[in-house]
Amino acid sequence: MYKFRYIIAILACVLAACSSPVTPVEPETEDDGMRHDSLTEIYDLFCNPERGFHVFKEFHSPNPEQLTAGGIKTIYDMGYSLVLNNYYLKDYRNCAIPDSYLEVVRNNMQALRDGGCKCILRFAYTDNESQTPREAPVDTVLKHISQIKPILQEYADVIFAMEAGFVGTWGEWYYTTYFKHQPSAREDFVDRRRVLDALLDALPKERMICVRTPDFKRSCFGYGLKDTITLAEAFNGSDKSRIACHDDAFMADETDMGTFTVSADRAYWEAETKYTIYGGESCRTGKYASCDNSLAQMQAMHISYLNISYHKGVISGWQNQGCLEDMRRLIGYRLVCTDVATTKEPKAGEDLKVKLTIINEGFSSPKNPRDIAVMLVNADDPDDVASFTPDCDPRFWFPEGEHYVEARFKPEKSGNYKIYLNLPDPKPTLAGNPKFSIRLANKDCWESATGYNYLTTVEVK
């Protein structure tokens, strides 16, 4: 492994209780009346939903090539669970989006659902700096957002995040015709705020909108540098909790080419991204994009996704310096179960307690809602299954400290019982698909047919 120490040494562990993200749980003593099984961590590379390097796809009007379920399955088999779908609407800057193009968007969403991946979604009007107008007038943009709203609502299950887009070349909110270029005064951001409000309304509340710089979030909503999201506000569905960031000049220079306009911007975004999505792509080669610098920023900004297709020189540099594999492993979350505690000598008809200790070796916590269940399965009768749903939110499983999952069962029969942790997607369309369930980084743990994580077996007398 690369020499960079991406996990901060824990001098005083922050213990996060599964039942409440703000209430610490005291660790059990060694003589706690429980049997403890230690699990082995693995360092393999494998797919997990809503995290990691992503591939990049463009769909230029009027007749773009469409995704297929088979193509998405191939992407998944290559080790990627995310696809950035960038839709260019250059032919519709002065008219409605035709049904034929909307059907392409819908088809692509279904291909993602059937193939096992999710998307980062962006709409823009041109990818050419010299082509004008660079976007549609604001009223047309708002009409276009209203047209795609039904698709966003129907296929929110396969949307990891949406980049704000629509404004400027590439949808990056910089080179612009109808929106003020280089805005500064609060009134200069009014139309951009209208776009964000429309997107926040169009996308279900459990999904985030990524803007290009932290200044866009502050200026559109009137936040100051100290108005960062608090633990109590995290993931609560408010506009503040849903505006995230895509940094499309990652490691280009000291400011990521103006992504951070003042020195305090970095501290602001480091605090915000603990609870919001941060991702993007690298931009150009240079000494600043070294492994040391890049890994440090990934950790500080709690990075969740990054483009594997661009910039190829930067990606090659990481490969040559020896840190690309660690990046593939650690971008986003990487959950490890370190201990399984169960009642000693459990008896049929009596309580069987289970307590799991989870650590997160990745750079970020899971950022979208996630179901969780501890499963008790009779080894001799697979139809004898009990499921316990802890009062728990994996989005609060941050990279620091230990996190606990507690469950309680009352098996009626004697015999051997297998214990599993299941972390499926909460959307009914995906809940039964193992490709959308979270896999733990533990040895002999993953069951690909079910998406369950096997932890241990207990004998009930």
User: Is residue 68 included in any domain, yes or no?
Assistant: yes
**186, pLDDT greater than 80:** yes
* Interacting residues of 321 by C-beta distance below 8 A, sequence separation 6+: 2, 290, 291
Same domain? 317 vs 339: no
Q: Rounded CA gap, 188 and 114, in Å?
A: 42
pLDDT band at 2 (very low <50, low <70, confident <90, very high): low
Query: How large is the average pLDDT for residues 90-111?
Result: 98
Same domain? 133 vs 206: yes
User: Is residue 252 included in any domain, yes or no?
Assistant: yes
Q: What is the 3-state secondary structure (H, E, C) of the chain?
A: CCCCCCCCCCCCCCCECCCCCCCCCCCCCCCCCEEEEECCECCCCCCCCCCEEEEEEEEECCCCCCCCHHHHHHHHHCCCCEEEEEEECHHHCCCCCCHHHHHHHHHHHHHHHHHCCEEEEEEECCCCCCCCCCCCCHHHHHHHHHHHHHHHHHCHHHEEEEECCCCCHHHCCCCCCCCCCCCCCHHHHHHHHHHHHHHHHHCCCCCCEEECCHHHHHHHHCCCCCCCCCCCCCCCCCHHHHEEEEEEEECCCCCCCCCCCCHHHHHHHHHHCCCCCEEEEECCCCHHHCHHHHHHHHHHCCCCEEECCCCHHHHHHHHHHCCHHHHHHHCCCCEEEEEEEEECCCCCCCCEEEEEEEEECCCCCCCCCCCCEEEEEECCEEEEEEEECCCCCHHHCCCCCCEEEEEEECCCCCEEEEEEEECCCCCCCCCCCHHHCCCCCECCCEECCCCEEEEEEEEEC
**11, pLDDT greater than 80:** no
User: Is residue 17 included in any domain, yes or no?
Assistant: no
**161, pLDDT greater than 90:** yes
Same domain? 348 vs 445: yes
Q: Rounded CA gap, 437 and 433, in Å?
A: 7
pLDDT band at 343 (very low <50, low <70, confident <90, very high): very high
Same domain? 168 vs 217: yes
- Tally the domains of the chain: 2
Dihedral in degrees, nearest 10, Cα atoms 440, 441, 444, 446: 30
Partner residues linked to 305 by β-bridges: 52, 279
pLDDT band at 1 (very low <50, low <70, confident <90, very high): low
* CA nearest to 195, candidates 225, 213, 226, 216: 216
Q: Rounded CA gap, 103 and 331, in Å?
A: 33
Quote the distance between the C-alpha of residue 257 and its chain's center: 24
**38, pLDDT greater than 60:** yes
* Interacting residues of 140 by C-beta distance below 8 A, sequence separation 6+: 93, 94, 95
Positive or negative: CA dihedral 187, 189, 194, 200 = negative
Of 330, 365, 399, which marks where a domain is finished? 330
**17, pLDDT greater than 70:** no
What is the length of the chain? Answer: 461
Q: Rounded CA gap, 326 and 3, in Å?
A: 10
Q: Look at the block and give the residue holding tokens 């469950």.
A: 407
**425, pLDDT greater than 50:** yes
pLDDT band at 31 (very low <50, low <70, confident <90, very high): low
User: Is residue 321 included in any domain, yes or no?
Assistant: yes
Same domain? 147 vs 264: yes
Contact 21, 231 (CB under 8 A): yes
Phi/psi at 97 (5° precision): -75, 125
Q: Rounded CA gap, 192 and 194, in Å?
A: 5
Tens of pLDDT, residues 303-319: 999 999 999 999 999 99
| Vertex 61 angle, CA 111 and 163, to 5° | 65
Same domain? 368 vs 403: yes
Q: Rounded CA gap, 358 and 404, in Å?
A: 6
Contact 421, 387 (CB under 8 A): no
Of 283, 310, 330, which marks where a domain is finished? 330
Contact 438, 445 (CB under 8 A): no
Tens of pLDDT, residues 279-305: 999 999 999 999 999 999 999 999 999
* CA nearest to 43, candidates 442, 445, 454: 442
Partner residues linked to 419 by β-bridges: 376, 456
Boundaries of domain holding 449: 34-41+335-460
User: Is residue 381 included in any domain, yes or no?
Assistant: yes
Same domain? 232 vs 317: yes
Same domain? 166 vs 144: yes
pLDDT > 70: percent of the chain:
93
Same domain? 177 vs 254: yes
Contact 357, 339 (CB under 8 A): yes
**171, pLDDT greater than 60:** yes
- pLDDT score recorded for residue 93: 97
Q: What's the first-to-final CA gap in the chain, in angstroms? A: 45
The number of CA neighbours under 13 Å toward the Cβ of 319 is 7
- pLDDT score recorded for residue 370: 98
pLDDT > 90: percent of the chain:
91
User: Is residue 11 included in any domain, yes or no?
Assistant: no
Contact 301, 271 (CB under 8 A): no
pLDDT band at 33 (very low <50, low <70, confident <90, very high): confident
Q: Rounded CA gap, 368 and 449, in Å?
A: 23
Same domain? 246 vs 144: yes
Contact 305, 51 (CB under 8 A): yes
What is the average pLDDT value for the chain, to the nearest integer?
93
Provide the whole-model pTM. Answer: 0.93
Same domain? 102 vs 251: yes
Same domain? 377 vs 228: no
**3, pLDDT greater than 90:** no
